[in-house]
């Protein structure tokens, strides 16, 4: 770790290389969206459409805590080399895929590499930064996240239009190799001589199985399957069984993946819980605000994209600002301020309606983004400070995992709520497909396509607008509840010594 006021050149190269790896992983979560229609047309497999996204998110979530722990046991240089190679292997095979099944398998491999890169990026940058500089560095990391979210959809569309959808994946190869070269040339090989690298294989397996089962519940329930269907109930049982097995495995492991003693630290528990609650809110808003723009305000897809930009800008700006001011603004105060900002945005969203100006909606998203920017950096620093420096990898990856878990569960839960609310209201309308034909969000989005909207009579179209607005009010209400929980957690955290 450096304490000098100026970073050594080698550290600058390391930071640039790790941020490049993180940028590619974040970009690949979004860039495929614009290419999916072309991919389906060439490869077929429309029924597997959602799994191109889900496979990536699931394996990325699993890799985060496992590689976070490995950072504390093995040389980060070797782990980063492995992570980048896994990601590049997934990118190459995805670009060469000849069927949808092959593409999904390649995306799963990509997800492992991306999750590992995320864990290692946060760990390495935190490790080489002095404590007083760490906030600024984490703000820089969040800024890169924001840039990837802005570039992803637009870059994906441009590549498909001017080249081929396969170059969405092939473009990772030169950039990934450049990041790999930076790691190999400038990152020092380090050994962990003070602790025995005893890998907790049983803990890794049971945690992976439990995470996969839990996230699959929220990815599939309410859209592909009903909440009480056999597959969802079975996945729920698997979550509990493997979670129980993981708990007992961690009690016996000499180097547990997630030390149970960590939860005795208020900073670790409350910091991660606050990050979970805020992520629940912000990812739900980001998932369903486009439906508000399209189904309630009748905005075109191009204007919809522009209207959503303030959320990413606010998140990046909030994280960057607090990162620069982290020595002047207390971490716990920043977490509380960010939570209040998120709660205010969610409360304001309850008053949006068909006559609300698009600019005002974007202002609400900007406020939510600013709040999440403050919370994401402040809670990360709180969690990192709560554990021994020897467990920096566990602390850092647990925070990223909490955010991933909160976002995935939030989107799944609010999506199911929205589908149920809209289907219930459609029973009162005539001339629209009944609830039996609108059992999931995919069918609803199909109805909202411009060509479908043109077929509806004007009175019926405005009735549909009212139904969608009512369903979204319930979603925004749940987002407000989660944001209010983050306020309470931040307040409790602030009172703790």
Rounded-to-integer distance, Cα 483 and Cα 472, Å: 16
Q: Where are the alpha helices (DSSP H) in 5-50?
A: 9-27, 36-43
**pLDDT score of 35 more than 90:** no
Mean pLDDT of 396-418: 84
Task: Provide CATH code, domain 1-185.
Answer: 1.20.1250.20
Break the chain into its structural domains and give their ranges: 1-185, 200-254, 265-497
Q: How far is CA 36 from CA 55, 88, 91, 166, in A?
A: 14, 20, 16, 11
Q: Which residues contact 350 (CB under 8 A, 6 or more apart)?
A: 473, 476, 477, 480
Mean pLDDT of 233-256: 90
Residue 148 CB: number of other CB atoms within 10 A?
22
pLDDT by residue (tens digit) across 152-189?
777 777 787 788 888 888 999 999 999 999 888 887 77
Instruction: Say what the pLDDT of residue 240 is.
Output: 95
Instruction: Say what the pLDDT of residue 405 is.
Output: 86
Instruction: Say what the pLDDT of residue 177 is.
Output: 94
Instruction: Say what the pLDDT of residue 69 is.
Output: 83
Instruction: Say what the pLDDT of residue 1 is.
Output: 45
pLDDT band at 443 (very low <50, low <70, confident <90, very high): low
Q: How far is CA 308 from CA 182, 321, 363, 364, in A?
A: 34, 21, 10, 10
pLDDT by residue (tens digit) across 265-314?
888 999 999 999 999 999 888 878 887 887 788 776 667 667 778 888 88
Q: What is the pTM for the complete model shown?
A: 0.81
Percent of the chain with pLDDT over 90: 22
Establish whether domains 1-185 and 265-497 are of one fold.
Answer: yes
**pLDDT score of 36 more than 80:** no
Mean pLDDT of 43-63: 75
Give long-range contacts, CB 8 A cutoff, 24+ apart: 98-102.
98/43, 99/43, 99/44, 99/45, 100/39, 100/40, 100/43, 100/44, 100/45, 100/48, 100/52, 101/45, 101/48
pLDDT by residue (tens digit) across 74-88?
888 888 899 999 999
Rounded-to-integer distance, Cα 311 and Cα 281, Å: 12
**pLDDT score of 446 more than 70:** no
Rounded-to-integer distance, Cα 382 and Cα 398, Å: 12
Among the residue ranges 141-155, 190-204, 399-413, the one predicted with the least confidence is 190-204
pLDDT band at 454 (very low <50, low <70, confident <90, very high): low
Nearest to 113 by CA among 26, 212, 219, 208: 26
pLDDT band at 255 (very low <50, low <70, confident <90, very high): confident
Q: State which of 46-50, 326-330, 476-480 shows the largest mean pLDDT.
A: 476-480
Among the residue ranges 149-153, 372-376, 454-458, the one predicted with the least confidence is 454-458
Rounded-to-integer distance, Cα 369 and Cα 284, Å: 12
**pLDDT score of 436 more than 50:** no
CATH fold of 265-497: Growth Hormone; Chain: A; (1.20.1250)
pLDDT by residue (tens digit) across 347-373?
999 998 888 888 898 899 999 999 998
Q: State which of 119-133, 201-215, 229-243, 317-331 shows the largest mean pLDDT.
A: 229-243
**Cα four-point dihedral sign 484, 486, 492, 495:** negative
Averaged pLDDT score across all residues of the chain: 82
**pLDDT score of 435 more than 70:** no
Q: How far is CA 275 from the centre of its chain?
A: 12
Instruction: Say what the pLDDT of residue 49 is.
Output: 65
Percent of the chain with pLDDT over 70: 86
Would you call 227 helix, strand, or coil by DSSP? Answer: coil
Instruction: Say what the pLDDT of residue 437 is.
Output: 46
Among the residue ranges 201-205, 220-224, 450-454, the one predicted with the least confidence is 450-454
pLDDT band at 101 (very low <50, low <70, confident <90, very high): confident
């Amino acid at each position: 770790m450096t304490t000098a006021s100026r970073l050594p050149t080698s550290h600058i190269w390391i930071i640039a290389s790790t941020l490049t790896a993180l940028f590619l992983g974040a970009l690949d979560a979004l860039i495929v969206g614009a290419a999916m229609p072309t991919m389906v047309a060439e490869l077929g497999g429309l029924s597997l459409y959602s799994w191109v996204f889900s496979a990536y998110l699931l394996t990325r979530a699993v890799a985060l805590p496992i590689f976070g722990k490995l950072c504390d046991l093995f040389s980060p240089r070797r782990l980063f080399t492995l992570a980048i190679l896994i990601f590049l292997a997934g990118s190459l095979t995805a670009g060469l895929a000849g069927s949808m099944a092959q593409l999904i398998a390649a995306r799963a491999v990509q997800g492992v590499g991306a999750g590992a890169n995320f864990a290692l990026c946060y760990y390495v940058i935190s490790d080489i930064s002095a404590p007083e500089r760490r906030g600024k560095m984490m703000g820089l990391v969040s800024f890169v996240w924001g840039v990837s979210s802005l570039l992803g959809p637009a870059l994906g569309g441009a590549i498909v239009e001017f080249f081929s959808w396969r170059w969405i994946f092939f473009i990772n190869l030169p950039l990934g190799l450049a990041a790999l070269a930076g790691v190999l040339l400038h990152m020092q090989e380090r050994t962990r001589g003070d602790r025995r690298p005893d890998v907790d294989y049983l803990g890794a397996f049971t945690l992976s199985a439990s995470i996969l089962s839990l996230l699959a519940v929220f990815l599939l329930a309410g859209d592909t399957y009903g909440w009480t269907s056999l597959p969802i109930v079975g996945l729920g049982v698997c979550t509990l069984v493997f979670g129980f097995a993981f708990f007992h495995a961690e009690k016996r492991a000499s180097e547990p993946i997630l030390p149970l003693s960590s939860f005795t630290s208020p900073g670790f528990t409350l910091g991660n819980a606050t990050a979970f609650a805020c992520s629940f809110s912000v990812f739900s808003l980001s998932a369903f605000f486009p439906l508000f723009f399209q189904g309630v305000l009748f905005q075109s897809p191009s204007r919809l994209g522009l209207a959503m930009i303030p959320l990413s800008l606010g998140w990046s700006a909030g994280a960057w600002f607090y990162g620069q001011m982290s020595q002047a603004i207390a971490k716990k105060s920043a977490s509380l301020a960010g939570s209040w900002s998120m709660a205010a945005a969610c409360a304001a969203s309850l008053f949006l309606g068909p006559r609300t100006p698009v600019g005002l909606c974007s202002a609400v998203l900007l406020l939510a983004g600013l709040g999440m920017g403050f919370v994401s950096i402040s809670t990360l620093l709180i969690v990192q400070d709560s554990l021994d420096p020897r467990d920096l990898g566990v602390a850092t990856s647990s925070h990223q995992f909490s955010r991933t878990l909160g976002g995935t569960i939030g989107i799944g839960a609010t999506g199911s709520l929205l589908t149920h609310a809209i289907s219930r209201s459609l029973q009162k309308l005539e001339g629209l497909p009944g609830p039996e034909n609108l059992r999931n969000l995919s069918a609803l989005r199909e109805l909202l396509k411009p060509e479908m909207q043109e077929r509806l009579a004007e009175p019926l179209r405005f009735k549909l607008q009212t139904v969608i607005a009512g369903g979204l009010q319930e979603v925004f209400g749940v987002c407000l509840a989660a944001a209010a929980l983050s306020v309470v957690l931040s307040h409790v955290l602030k009172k703790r010594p």
